[in-house]
Structure 1
Amino acid sequence: MKKVYCATLLCALLVVVVVVLAEVEETEAVTCNAMELSVCAGAFTLSQPPSKDCCDKLRKQKPCLCGYIKNPSLGQFVNSPNAKNVASTCRVPYPTC
Structure 2
Amino acid sequence: MKFATFMLITFVIISTLSPDLASATAPGGFGEVAQVCDPSKLLSCYPAIATGVAPTTDCCTGLVAQEPCLCTYIKDPKFQEYVSSPNARKTMEACKVPYPTCT
Shorter-chain TM-score bucket reads: 0.7 to 0.9
- In the alignment, the residues of structure 1 paired with residue 65 and residue 42 of structure 2 have an alpha-carbon distance, to the nearest angstrom, of 10
Show the 5 A alignment for 1:1-97.
Answer: 20-21=29-30, 24-25=32-33, 28=34, 30-97=35-102
Structure 2: unaligned runs, 5 residues or longer: 1-27
**CA displacement at 1:24 relative to structure 2:** 3.7
Structure number with greater Rg is 1
**CA displacement at 1:83 relative to structure 2:** 0.4
**SS across alignment from 1:72:** coil
More strand by share: 2
Q: Percent sequence identity over matched residues?
A: 40
**SS across alignment from 1:67:** helix
May I ask how many residue pairs the two structures share in their alignment? Answer: 75
More helix by share: 1
What RMSD in Å do the two structures reach over aligned CA positions?
Answer: 1.4
